[in-house]
Structure 1
């Protein structure tokens, strides 16, 4: 039987079988059942149609992890419109670009961020402006709750095809204008199915929203948690004390945490010794940079949480690989080595690591190639950008999405990223993995956070430089000297890999999801050079 896979089916299922069960714990303390969640989504769907929003129109959402954001996801997609979440940490010029780029018809904004859109209101195509707590917003905005109160929960659900684009997620644009990643019903649905299996999501899960909902639709959890009938615990931001309190008070069983969030929780735990669980066991997923072994040990052995390292990108759903392979985790030491890897492909996903000619590298954990992937969760392409789409799917291997990450593969097929393709350090003709250097430096007791990038060198073309946030938080008196840091790497690494330069900083630049912006550090370091690539 051929039944189309459609995003609204997730809420449909939850309403049918879990209607009177708790669906949402709002950031303000309000609580909604799935029946109430669905009713509010229906009213929003009707309100948008009354304001002229049609199937295929783009509707932007600018909000933190609130019930308004969750309701908007389904209020938009139930009428076949395209959910377009925006990063609320951007500036008005960014919103102006994105709203024009995909010709947004309506926007739903949180009252704390609506002013950022109001600043560019006259230069964007938006016709409908809705905000939570609109009285707190300058300009002519309709109030979200009043709109729902004034609208009957009756709307027309159009005929939809699983190939229809249903969401556009903008990349962070670290190397140019952001690109709109187009995803269809089928891709979102299969990604939710796949991640539900690999993250062991079930109807009794209580999910804490620390990961931004705007980031690839919260890694698809706006769909998977809803469809399975779990409980969403919403937050307006990430505060370590609040996270531990929510885990205890709401019996949280699952959440996602960027490496920076894990560091925040570890620091708070060291200073305050909070309880780390409620009545439920806790699972946590992290992505991006591989967590240091010390972090994994503390999270699992002291907090009592199950930590999984997952991998992906905005263009891939995002999740395409996981380190959570239980058959390989039985040996204690091996488990920490494996959890630092990006892992093996998830169900229905093909991943290869290929050389410059597109040939798969051997599984020797030494030969470096670029990760390429194909699967149902991979994007349809970039919005109105066929050139970038073609480049992304055709560089080394035709028809595969190119991740831009360089990796090795071990005898078990486990990926281990060595660097971003553009970030690898080539010093005197030798390839140096910045991740290996960072992992080594994380073992130093006076290092809290670190990012290693290539620094220009007349002798070698490039040489490794470490930007370090000291453990005491004071870059002027970091408790360790640059020479001691250099000696530490010399003691633990081959001579050609030794960090040659060190700069202590208050903080590292990061994206909204906690990933270190190495490109920003590179631009700063290479400001006086003609290019960002050494000629060593």
Structure 2
């Protein structure tokens, strides 16, 4: 028989079987059972419908990893609305673009970030503005808790598994951000796969280091909830709090970018702390592999089990895992060579590496091609961008999403990423568009030409570095300074996107047609590294 796959099923299941069990430890110390969490979701859903939110409307959420984010997301689902999580590291201009592009009707914003929305509220179509502490926010905002306490009933509309349920905006590599549309079906299947490959069970205690806005917390807002496990909410990454929670709350599972893993190891080595409570600990990381020293520190020193995965916003995000235990000896250091690879495809996921003609490259661990993928967790398409969608699925091979990453594949079919096709920088787990950064620097009168590339970083894996040709033409007398240009960027874009270094040069390497050859700059910058892609 066939049963529609709907994201509302996850909370329904938890309420049905775990109503009296703790669901959430809030950042403010309150503890909510799944029954109580469900009642709060019902209350907010009723308030949204009372204020005109209907099926298909977009409801944006701007929040760190608090229980309000979970409640706002599930309340939107209950209304048949489309959950639109926002990256809290963005600046007001970014939010203005996204709220207009998605036609957002209602927004919930945490008090720490509401001012960024308040600044642009007259320039967006949004009608309802909600926050969790009206006393800390300027402007006309409604209280989340007051809306929950209004009570009332909401009506869950008829929903279908092929309808869009969330739009996640990705930095992209060119132009404005694109809204990645994900349906009930692909979110549900991705959550199922996450439960399987991350071994999530009802007695897990999940600690939120991974931003909930980031592809819906890699699907953990669904998976952890649906399994009836516990959420430990946070307001950001605090390594001391992580270790306290591991011992006091018996945290068993968390996700962390490689840079966070390194901070955890450093804290453990510098302080007399326990690395586990009553539960064994596993940690997932994604993208470019952490350095071997980091993997060794996590597993040998802290005694945690590391799971390395890979994907993109457009793919769920997760499509591969290196946690293939039959392919390595768990008691041998040789396992690190396997764990550093991006891994094999998730269940039901077809991952290939293809050449320019769309043919599979040899599985020799050396021949490089582009990663393409087909699976039920892959996006439906980009919001109102049919041409970008068509291109993403049909560049080399028809019907596959093209990742833009260049990789080799070993004899077991494990991915080994070598470089990036797209001009994207991944620093500490955050995507940074080199194009956006170049456009920002071009606005400075002393900049004549500029190219931005990823530079290696021990802390962040890679960071943006700008090569600037001064308008004066003289790199020894550029008419500005490195600090001035960095400050210029900091005033205009999100802090994490700001270049960490600026080098003044006489000219940029270019082709005969005038295209900048960034590959030459990357080769020079990464000549002492094993590969031209950051490990963070």
How far, CA to CA, are the matches of 1:407 and 1:109 in structure 2? 39
**1:396 aligned to 2:380?**
no
How far, CA to CA, are the matches of 2:500 and 2:343 in structure 1? 28
SS in 2 for 1:99: helix
TM superposition score normalised by structure 2: 0.82
Structure 2 counterpart of 1:294: 293
Structure 1 counterpart of 2:60: 60
SS in 1 for 2:334: helix
How far, CA to CA, are the matches of 2:506 and 2:406 in structure 1? 25
**1:258 aligned to 2:266?**
no
Query: Does the CA-based 8 Å contact 2:288-2:342 persist in structure 1?
Result: no
Per-residue CA deviation, residues 312-335 of structure 1 (Å, 9 max, x unaligned), is: 000000000000011012261331
Structure 2 counterpart of 1:408: 408
Structure 2 counterpart of 1:333: 333
- Residue 115 and residue 465 in structure 1: after superposition, are their counterparts in 2 closer, same or farther (change >3 A)? closer
- Residue 418 and residue 234 in structure 1: after superposition, are their counterparts in 2 closer, same or farther (change >3 A)? same
Per-residue CA deviation, residues 271-308 of structure 1 (Å, 9 max, x unaligned), is: 21311111100010001221111111110011010001
SS in 1 for 2:250: coil
- Residue 358 and residue 155 in structure 1: after superposition, are their counterparts in 2 closer, same or farther (change >3 A)? same
How far, CA to CA, are the matches of 1:135 and 1:36 in structure 2? 25
**1:229 aligned to 2:228?**
yes
Structure 1 counterpart of 2:169: 170
How far, CA to CA, are the matches of 1:249 and 1:77 in structure 2? 33
How far, CA to CA, are the matches of 1:524 and 1:417 in structure 2? 28
Alpha-carbon shift at residue 81 of structure 1 (Å) = 0.2
Query: Does the CA-based 8 Å contact 1:135-1:143 persist in structure 2?
Result: no
Alpha-carbon shift at residue 422 of structure 1 (Å) = 3.6
**Bigger shift: residues 77-86 or 166-175:** 166-175
Structure 2 counterpart of 1:249: 248
Query: Does the CA-based 8 Å contact 1:22-1:32 persist in structure 2?
Result: yes
SS in 2 for 1:191: helix
Query: Does the CA-based 8 Å contact 2:316-2:379 persist in structure 1?
Result: yes
Structure 2 counterpart of 1:9: 9
Structure 2 counterpart of 1:533: 517
Per-residue CA deviation, residues 32-80 of structure 1 (Å, 9 max, x unaligned), is: 0000000000111111000000000000000000000001111000111
- Residue 17 and residue 176 in structure 1: after superposition, are their counterparts in 2 closer, same or farther (change >3 A)? same
Alpha-carbon shift at residue 175 of structure 1 (Å) = 3.2
How far, CA to CA, are the matches of 1:526 and 1:182 in structure 2? 41
SS in 1 for 2:264: helix
Structure 2 counterpart of 1:312: 311
Query: Does the CA-based 8 Å contact 1:60-1:106 persist in structure 2?
Result: yes
Query: Does the CA-based 8 Å contact 2:57-2:105 persist in structure 1?
Result: yes
SS in 2 for 1:89: coil
Alpha-carbon shift at residue 134 of structure 1 (Å) = 1.3
Structure 1 counterpart of 2:531: none
**1:92 aligned to 2:92?**
yes
Alpha-carbon shift at residue 423 of structure 1 (Å) = 6.0
Structure 1 counterpart of 2:347: 347
Where has structure 1 moved over 4 Å in runs of 4 or more? 464-471, 519-528
Alpha-carbon shift at residue 523 of structure 1 (Å) = 9.3
- Residue 534 and residue 157 in structure 1: after superposition, are their counterparts in 2 closer, same or farther (change >3 A)? closer
Report the RMSD for the aligned CA atoms in angstroms. Answer: 2.9
In the TM superposition, 1:9-408 aligns within 5 A as: 9-152=9-152, 154-330=153-329, 332-408=332-408
**Bigger shift: residues 351-360 or 521-530:** 521-530
The answer for unaligned runs of 5 or more in structure 2 is 435-450, 461-481, 491-495, 509-513, 521-536
- Residue 234 and residue 244 in structure 1: after superposition, are their counterparts in 2 closer, same or farther (change >3 A)? same
Query: Does the CA-based 8 Å contact 2:243-2:273 persist in structure 1?
Result: yes
Query: Does the CA-based 8 Å contact 1:323-1:339 persist in structure 2?
Result: yes
Alpha-carbon shift at residue 266 of structure 1 (Å) = 1.7
Structure 1 counterpart of 2:476: none
Alpha-carbon shift at residue 528 of structure 1 (Å) = 5.1
- Residue 48 and residue 525 in structure 1: after superposition, are their counterparts in 2 closer, same or farther (change >3 A)? farther
Alpha-carbon shift at residue 151 of structure 1 (Å) = 2.5
Query: Does the CA-based 8 Å contact 2:247-2:278 persist in structure 1?
Result: yes
SS in 1 for 2:394: coil
- Residue 121 and residue 261 in structure 1: after superposition, are their counterparts in 2 closer, same or farther (change >3 A)? same
Per-residue CA deviation, residues 131-172 of structure 1 (Å, 9 max, x unaligned), is: 0011210000000001111222x2100000000100000002
Query: Does the CA-based 8 Å contact 2:173-2:423 persist in structure 1?
Result: no
Query: Does the CA-based 8 Å contact 1:363-1:410 persist in structure 2?
Result: yes
Alpha-carbon shift at residue 173 of structure 1 (Å) = 3.8
